[in-house]
Amino acid sequence: MFFSNKNILIGVTGGIAAYKSAEIIRLFKKEGADVRVVMTESAKEFITPLTLQAVSGNAIHDSLLDVKAEAAMGHIELAKWADIILISPCTAETIAKITHGRADDLIGAILLASKADKYIAPAMNMNMWSDSSTQENYNTLLKRDIAFIGPASGEQACGDVGPGRMEEPSNIIEFIRKSFKTGPLSGKKITITAGPTREQIDPVRFISNNSSGKMGYAMADAAIEVGAIVNLISGPVSIKPNKHVNLINVNSAEEMLNKVIDSMSDSDIFIGCAAVSDFKPSDYSDIKIKKEDMDDIDIHLEKNEDILTYVASEFTTSYVVGFAAETSDVKSNAKRKLKSKDLDMIISNDVSDKSIGFDVDDNEVNVITNKETIFLKKDKKIRIAREILKIISLNIQV
């Protein structure tokens, strides 16, 4: 499920290879992606919208001004929604329009408005592909960081043999998959902590907190996407981990610290996203404490070792990132923690806001270093995680 948590927008233009778009959608869906489709009017001459709607499970988009969309601004909604945009097949006409920034159809408008990763799978006659105008457009788009997949060489519908065929669907999927595996943190080893810890009072009772682990698991997913090797040290949560991470389950803060020490022996980056218990009971009862045996109970607490501080002081060659869940003076408290714990970066958020606090899918954070503060406005946690990883990759390259 490599593309789980990914929103993929596929643009289908008017070429005979449009029939292959159904298989591309199927393969993306098989790997966990949410897929939406934009069709040009000419594309409908080669494959029906009903076919692509059935395969994708979503309504087809074909109008620049969709009255059913919020404020009739469907192109902006789709541009913000997409993580990946693939134009497949992409005709010579569409390549020319994209090159010149044309926004007179839905595909053109989305491409201009989106920050998603963009891919083009060309499909046209070999002479059209080799024409100097097409080649100039091709080279211009490469400079704009739009990736081309193909075209392949072979026999074409018109009978000519040469470059211009659209790549096969499986090759297109593999190209996009590999582009993530060779991301900016490719080969880097990252240790991430996630979720709460539990400090046992007796065999059935414990002290814990409201952390769901969603942000930490999103960080692990985002790190895998950019090519990192990930150790995910997790407290008790109910989230299914990415199969590409090395998951290490723990319960207590002490267990988490010990596993972090083991993992950090060869890690380049540490991201402390777990909500680690600051305190633990001084005395643990081996048997369940019976309420009928006492009218009240006093639990004496003692401090746990601060994992972030320990990692920053003992693993000085690693890039150390912490999270600060605050309820007041969010930025100022986070900046104090950045300095007192000697961290390279800290991510602060306001957990008093229930829409971005514990156990929800959205977040809004400040990414703080000694040089700058970057505000990431409210978005899905996986997208926030991707932005944080981008900032980390830029900082470790400085």
The residue length of the chain stands at: 398
315 conformational bin, left if phi > 0, alpha if psi -120 to 50, beta if neither: beta
d(CA 8, CA 14): 20
- 90 is known as an active-site residue: no
Residues 149 and 374: their CA atoms lie apart, in Å, by 34
Question: Based on the number of CB atoms within 10 Å of its own CB, is 371 exposed (0-12), middle (13-18) or buried (19 or more)?
Answer: exposed
Residue 31 carries which side chain, given as an amino acid letter? E
Q: Cβ-count burial of 317 within 10 angstroms (0-12 exposed, 13-18 middle, 19+ buried)?
A: exposed
Amino acid 93 reads: E
CB-count exposure of residue 205 (10 Å: 0-12, 13-18, 19+) = middle
CB 376 within 8 A of CB 365: yes
**Among 158, 161, 204, 394, the one annotated catalytic:** 158
φ/ψ of 242, rounded to 5, equals: -60, 130
Residues taking part in catalysis: 158
